């Protein structure tokens, strides 16, 4: 529906692991991804730059750019494109980088060759599951979003209950604990 005749999804990732961590106090914290410029704009600009390059090569090619605010399954596409593997915390993990990256997708009417998914996994590691203070990671590869600090501090439409506020451990916007 976003792009009639789509044949490929080009997946881009942008590292934010080395973004200077803002000075979070022990009492109040903001997730690392929110420390810089709005990543929706950063990724959209990069995707549009790629779109212009592709259309310069072949003006008949149509494209649609999206980040996670669009109805695109960017994590699934990133896994299929080999950008990383699915972690037990449900995030895409790239060896050597972790999950500290943004994902952008460019849908296009051009048929690009497919990449291979990574054949990698977390093995016996359970650090993310054990670290989650709210038990949102109910078991490997399963997230109860309603218990997730990031959901509660960003997406939830009603005020936090007293118990939820305590469970946030000072995170005001998002959470980096399972990363």
The one catalytic residue among 38, 58, 68, 144:
68
Contact 171, 153 (CB under 8 A): yes
- Residue 25, sorted as left (phi over 0), alpha (psi -120 to 50) or beta, turns out to be beta
Torsion sign, CA atoms 69, 8, 103, 15: negative
Q: For this structure, is 68 an active site residue?
A: yes
Distance, in Å, from the CA atom of 179 to the CA atom of 93, rounded to the nearest integer, reads: 9
Alpha-carbon 64 to chain mean position: 18
Catalytic residues: 68
């Amino acid at each position: 529906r976003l792009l009639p005749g789509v044949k490929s999804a080009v997946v881009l990732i942008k590292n934010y692991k080395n973004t200077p961590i803002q000075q979070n106090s022990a009492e109040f914290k903001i997730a690392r991804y929110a420390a810089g410029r709005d990543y929706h704009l950063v990724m959209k600009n990069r995707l549009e730059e790629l779109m212009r390059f592709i259309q310069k090569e072949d003006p008949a090619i149509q494209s649609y750019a999206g980040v996670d605010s669009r109805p695109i399954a960017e994590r699934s596409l990133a896994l299929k494109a080999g950008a990383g593997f699915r972690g037990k915390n449900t995030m895409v993990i790239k060896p050597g980088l972790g999950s500290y990256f943004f994902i952008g997708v460019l849908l296009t009417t051009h048929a690009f060759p497919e990449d291979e998914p990574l054949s990698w996994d977390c093995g016996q590691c359970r650090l993310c599951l054990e670290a989650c203070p709210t038990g949102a990671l109910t078991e490997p590869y399963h997230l109860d979003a309603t218990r997730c600090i990031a959901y509660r501090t960003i997406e939830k439409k009603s005020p936090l209950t007293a118990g939820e506020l305590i469970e946030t451990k000072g995170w005001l916007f998002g959470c980096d604990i399972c990363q």
